[in-house]
Amino acid sequence: MVSKINPSKLTSKIALTIAAFVALFITFNFYVNSVNKIDRANEQRLMSFHLTDQMRQSTDDLSLMARIYVMNPNLRYKKYYQNILDIRNGKMFRPEGYFNVYWDMVLANAISAPIENGPGIPFLDLMRQSGLTEEEIGKLNEAKTNSDLLATVEFVAMKLAESTGPDAEDRHTTARQMISDENYHKAKAKIMKPINEVYLLVEKRTVDAVHEAEYIAFISRLILIVVTLFVTFMLWRAYVSLRATLGGSADEVQTQITRIGRGDFSISSTIKVGMENSVVAGLSKMQNKLQANEIERKQAEEALRIAAVAFESQESLMITDANGVVLRVNKAFTKTTGYTAEEVIGQTPKLFQSDLYDADFYDAMWETIQLTGTWHGEVWGSRKNGELYPKWLTISAVQGDDGAVTHYVGADIDITELSNARIAAEKANRAKSEFISSMSHELRTPLNAILGFAQLLEHGSPAPTPTQMIRLKEILRGGWYLLDLINEILDLALIESGKVSLSPEHMSLQEILLECKTMMEPQAKLRDIQLNFPQLDHSLFVYADRTRVKQVLINLLSNAIKYNCEHGTVEVTCNANALKQVRISIKDTGEGLFPEKLAQLFQPFNRLGQESSSVEGTGIGLVVSKKLIEQMGGNIGVESTVGAGSVFWFDLALAEELQLTEVPNESITHVTKVYDHSKQRTLLYVEDNPANLALVEHIIEGRPDIRLLSAMNGNVGIELAGAHLPDVILMDINLPGISGIDALRILRRDPLTKHIPIIALSANVQLHDIAKAMEAGFFRYLTKPIELNEFMCAIDEAFGFTEKSI
């Protein structure tokens, strides 16, 4: 009778075995937890007794110190007495090893007396933290209260022991009686009685807890044994079922599989009775089939070799004979070209070639194939509908046993998506630039109000006090520097694309260093860092972009401050070399860098493990600095010693010495411009931002000869211009409704307003924005934030233009 092996039955047994293992794991963890409970109960018992002992011992130590002091009024013992009280009340830190014999060891000078080094933990708080019951805490609190009462008696006795004079002896006798009479011992008993009761309560509670934990551990041990036996039984059942399913041992099955894998079909397996449906029986049947298929495999080997070369890939594939006639194409080919297999087979590749290449191109291609056996490159192909598309083409020659070419295999990849991805990347780059430009506009708008009103305060009446002037200067200096940073953000996109614009000039290195020092000193003072700058000759000039050099210097100085140690120093040095260069070095006293970190220093967004620290940073400052210095023809580097600090340096080209013409002070004449108040002129300002509008209103308040009109959008501005015919129009570019440029075009088409000079005032600072506005016909283009003198000069110039045109 042939037995039927049921795989679902084996699966259920394996599932039961796994469930038994899970139960064993849970039981084992429960048993371990119960054993740990015994340890925790014993620890609780020991801690409870230890705290109770401390209460008793502190009372005994207080009595000991009081008695010693009464017998020998040495202030040392009175101080110890007070220390015991302070430690117990949490007013003094509990010393290490504060156990039963601590004060005995102190009295014997075996250990040092405790040091008053801050508050500790009150004894009652220790009791609450240790898990004592409320009843036990109440008893110990009662004992402490009685001990504190006895302490007042002991303090009186110690005070009497300090007495001098005629009745000192009587007072000393009274003191000794107070700490040794019956009342004293009764008071001691009132302390020890609740302590003794606590001993009894702790004994009962902790013994019960230990016994309960031991009982639970015993029960869990029995359960663990039972579950272990059950798991063993289930493992045995699973083993029996698995062996029946396999039809033999695992080694026998592995041996047969290995033999089949090697292609050795010479030895057939013997199937035991009742194992006809086992794995071994199935392997034996498969072995017989594979042996029969081996002959067919060898007969088809030649055809399979060609198919393996042509169709192992998902690329568009085509096979031709030695004369270039198409024999076969795959589905990817038909999908890419639009031709069916029937339309292509029997044709030559000229059917789907584009007309973009001449005969010389194809001659060079086939010459390469004949020499190397392959050719690959990017070409344009033609689909059935006439559409051209880019593809990466590879042509390989297939040779027979005699070395002669029998076939050609062409494989190509449609790279249209790659081309589209390139276009998408360019669009993303433009979107990024537009985003940065938009952010610059949004930052410049509030900065316009900050710098504009600060300039008004600086030049206003009454004049600022000297202190106010200093503060205004700092506001303006910081504001203009922030403006420089915003401009640098705009340049980041150009730096990444390699199109950064530089404006090299001859500049004094001493001036740059002084400006950087002034800006960095507040940051250094916050960390008590000393900045040391060299005293340079004012004739030392370099040829570089002033803003970029300043940007690099500030970045290196900021890093030297941020990553320095507290109370450290930053030293700046400048040294010229024989290559007509000057090396500027910034040395700090920080932790220094390991060599492996130095190799990663100029990698983008790599902060060398400082990401989780409190020091702020983005990891791009040094990368940008390196690119800027290199584009200015210089070099940048670093030298670092772990534990001593780092030195960052960069080289710049020295400029030819300039001959500066000094202008005597007496030749400078300050001219105060006088305006004709009798002739009032009208200025129309079209602006949607209230802060910007308020700023211009405050500026114009100082010019009684100018009447200011304002409009919040372009349409209203056009109406006011037609109604009032102002002498000059001041126009924002980004306006709600119609833009400033559209408003300009409308005004230019009107015969009444086409002659009015219109000045653009905008936060758009990119060159193409300015060029677009000037081409549209603006008289001048001013950028926000407003520079007061430049602004007023432009307004006056426009008024002058209007007067000449009349």
Q: What is the CA radius of gyration of the chain?
A: 48
365-404, pLDDT tens digit by residue? 888 988 888 998 888 888 888 888 888 888 988 888 778 8
Could you give the CA distance from residue 193 to residue 199 in angstroms, rounded to a whole number? 10
Cα distances (Å, whole numbers) of residue 588 to 464, 572, 616, 623: 39, 9, 18, 20
pLDDT computed for residue 742 by the predictor: 95
Which tokens go with 306? 């060609």
The answer to whether 445 and 691 have CB atoms below 8 angstroms apart is: yes
580-622, pLDDT tens digit by residue? 889 999 999 988 888 887 777 776 655 565 655 555 555 667 7
Spans of all domains in the chain: 8-218, 253-299, 303-414, 502-653, 677-805
Classify 506 as helix, strand or coil: strand
Is 191 exposed, middle or buried, given 0-12, 13-18 or 19+ CB atoms closer than 10 A? buried
Quick count: other Cβ atoms within 10 Å of Cβ 427? 10
- Strand (E) or helix (H) holding 530: strand 530-532
Nearest CA to 783 among 353, 469, 486, 448?
Answer: 448
Residues of the chain predicted below pLDDT 70: 1-10, 247-250, 263-270, 272-277, 280, 287, 291-314, 419, 422, 425-426, 428-445, 447-449, 451-452, 456, 477-501, 537-538, 603-620, 656-678, 806
pLDDT computed for residue 781 by the predictor: 94
The answer to whether 317 and 407 have CB atoms below 8 angstroms apart is: no
Which tokens go with 67? 């008695």
pLDDT computed for residue 265 by the predictor: 62
The answer to whether 303 and 328 have CB atoms below 8 angstroms apart is: no
pLDDT computed for residue 334 by the predictor: 84
Strands 728-731 and 758-762 turn out to be parallel
Which tokens go with 601? 């220093």
Helices (H), 338-415: 341-344, 359-372
Q: Give the number of C-alpha atoms closer than 13 A to the C-alpha of residue 652, restricted to the C-beta side.
A: 28
pLDDT computed for residue 483 by the predictor: 64
Strands 569-576 and 530-532 turn out to be parallel
CATH superfamily of 677-805: Response regulator (3.40.50.2300)
Query: What are the DSSP E strand ranges found in 678-775?
Result: 681-686, 706-711, 728-731, 758-762
The β-bridge partners of 399 are 405
pLDDT computed for residue 666 by the predictor: 34
| CATH 3.30.420.40 given to domain 303-414 | no
- Three-state DSSP string of 597-661: HHCCCCCCCCCCCCCCCCCCCCCCHHHHHHHHHHHCCCCEEEEEECCCEEEEEEEEEECCCCCCC
Quick count: other Cβ atoms within 10 Å of Cβ 100? 13
Which residues have a Cβ under 8 Å from the Cβ of 385 and sit 6 or more positions away?
Answer: 338
Is 665 exposed, middle or buried, given 0-12, 13-18 or 19+ CB atoms closer than 10 A? exposed
Could you give the CA distance from residue 405 to residue 322 in angstroms, rounded to a whole number? 6
pLDDT computed for residue 263 by the predictor: 67
| CATH 3.30.2270.10 given to domain 502-653 | no
**What 8-state DSSP symbol labels residue 275?**
-
- Tokens 């009024």, located at residue: 73
Domains 303-414 and 677-805 are alike in CATH topology: no
pLDDT computed for residue 22 by the predictor: 87
Could you give the CA distance from residue 362 to residue 85 in angstroms, rounded to a whole number? 105
Could you give the CA distance from residue 575 to residue 516 in angstroms, rounded to a whole number? 18
The span from the first CA to the last CA of the chain, in angstroms, equals: 124
Q: What is the pTM of this model?
A: 0.36
Which residues have a Cβ under 8 Å from the Cβ of 121 and sit 6 or more positions away?
Answer: 90, 94, 129
